[in-house]
Structure 1
Amino acid sequence: MTLASLAAFAGLCLILSLTPGPDTFLVLRIALNRPSAGIAAAAGSAVAAIGWAALVGVGLAAILEQSAQVFRWLKIAGGLYLLYLGISSFLKTRKAAKNGMAADGKEGSALRYSNLAGFGAGALSTLLNPKVGLFYLAVVPQFIPQGGDTMGTAMILGAVEAVIGFAYLAVVALVAYKAMGWLRRPKVSTGVERVSSGIIAALGAGVIASGASS
């Protein structure tokens, strides 16, 4: 694989990262109250991206591409998880508001993620995101030279995507926390939590509908 090919792949990864999706909204929501957990979610997403690259390397991704039924259920599973994230977050925000707790989680911390929980949420979001899987299924094989080290090349490409994705999401987490201090006022923060939760749930519902109709 040439440097030109690697640069072209990095450009595609940058475009993928800059396109708002479930991972972006998830990291934004988590980082609003705890930036370290948001960065952990970004790290989880990066590790999961390498996992997708590994699937391509061992040929499992090719099987998913050839089996429309398997990929359909993968899409539905991802949609259900996103829907769960959105609805559960909305319900927690509503409960916190009723109990009179501050939106920054200082009283009861119902809305705060630990670093480990953030990492797990980011990893699951990426693993179950069919758009990430489709990206690897459609794009990565084109950069693997015929007769070359398939597994090694796939892992290199996965590492490139993971680094770019992590860098972008980490910046999102830090900027969200630094630039939105005023949003952590109870009423405003509750509104942001509900809107972001609604977006995540809507994305999940869209994925489920797409999978069910395919």
Structure 2
Amino acid sequence: MTAASLLAFAGLCLVLAITPGPDTFLVLRFSLSRPGAGMAAAAGSALGSMVWAVAVAFGLAALLEQSAEIYRVLKIVGGLYLVYLGVAAFLASRKHTAADAVDLEVRRTSLRSGFLAGALSTLTNPKVGLFFLAVAPQFVPHDGSAIPSTLLLGAIDALVGSAYLVAVALLAGRAVAWLKRPAVTTWLERVSAGILAALGIGTIALSAES
């Protein structure tokens, strides 16, 4: 692969990364409690993306393209997980009062939780695998190096996506630290939780119709 083709692929990854999706709102949700947890979610998302790249490289993700049923089931599982995250986040935000909200330590989310949530969100999103299936052949040279080339593309996608999500986490964390208004933080947490749940419900509804 040439440098030009790698830059073109990186640009495509950037366009997809800045398009709001489950990963963006998930990172935002965790960042509002703790910027480090948001960055951990970004790292988890990057790991999930690399797992999909490995699956595509070795032909495992081709099952998604060949079986509509597998694709539908995976989408429903991912949708249910997003609904769970949204509901759990909303319920957690209701427990915060103006008194305990002053202490940010009470509102912090563990790095492990953020990482696992980011990884599971991406792993249960079949669109990531289909993206590699559809796009990788356009950039992989026909010289017998399909596996290493696909893994390289996966690494680029993970790097670009995680860099954008880390930026989201840092900006969200700085905004919360600057405002330091418990009511505003709680409102933002509930909005992001609602968006996650809505995305999950929409995914499930669309999967059930197809």
**TM-score, normalization: structure 2?**
0.93
Equivalent residue of 1:180, what SS? Answer: helix
Whole-Å separation in 2 of the counterparts to 1:80 and 1:92:
18
Equivalent residue of 2:142, what SS? Answer: coil
Deviation at 1:210, TM superposition (A): 1.3
* Corresponding position of 2:197: 201
* Corresponding position of 2:25: 25
Whole-Å separation in 2 of the counterparts to 1:209 and 1:103:
39
* Corresponding position of 2:156: 160
Equivalent residue of 2:95, what SS? Answer: helix
Whole-Å separation in 1 of the counterparts to 2:103 and 2:82:
23
Whole-Å separation in 1 of the counterparts to 2:165 and 2:75:
23
Structure 1 residues 187 and 179: alpha-carbon distance in aligned structure 2, compared to 1, 3 A threshold: closer
Please say if residues 32 and 184 of structure 1, whose CA atoms lie closer than 8 Å, have aligned partners that are also in contact: no
Q: How does 1:5-84 map to 2 (within 5 A)?
A: 5-84=5-84
Structure 2: gaps (5+ residues): none
Whole-Å separation in 2 of the counterparts to 1:103 and 1:44:
29
Structure 1: gaps (5+ residues): none
Moved segments of 4+, more than 3 Å:
103-106
Whole-Å separation in 1 of the counterparts to 2:92 and 2:175:
24
Structure 1 residues 63 and 130: alpha-carbon distance in aligned structure 2, compared to 1, 3 A threshold: closer
Please say if residues 33 and 104 of structure 1, whose CA atoms lie closer than 8 Å, have aligned partners that are also in contact: no
Please say if residues 64 and 126 of structure 2, whose CA atoms lie closer than 8 Å, have aligned partners that are also in contact: no
* Corresponding position of 1:94: 94
Identical aligned residues as a percent: 60
Backbone CA RMSD of aligned residues: 1.8
**TM-score, normalization: structure 1?**
0.91
Matched pairs, number: 210
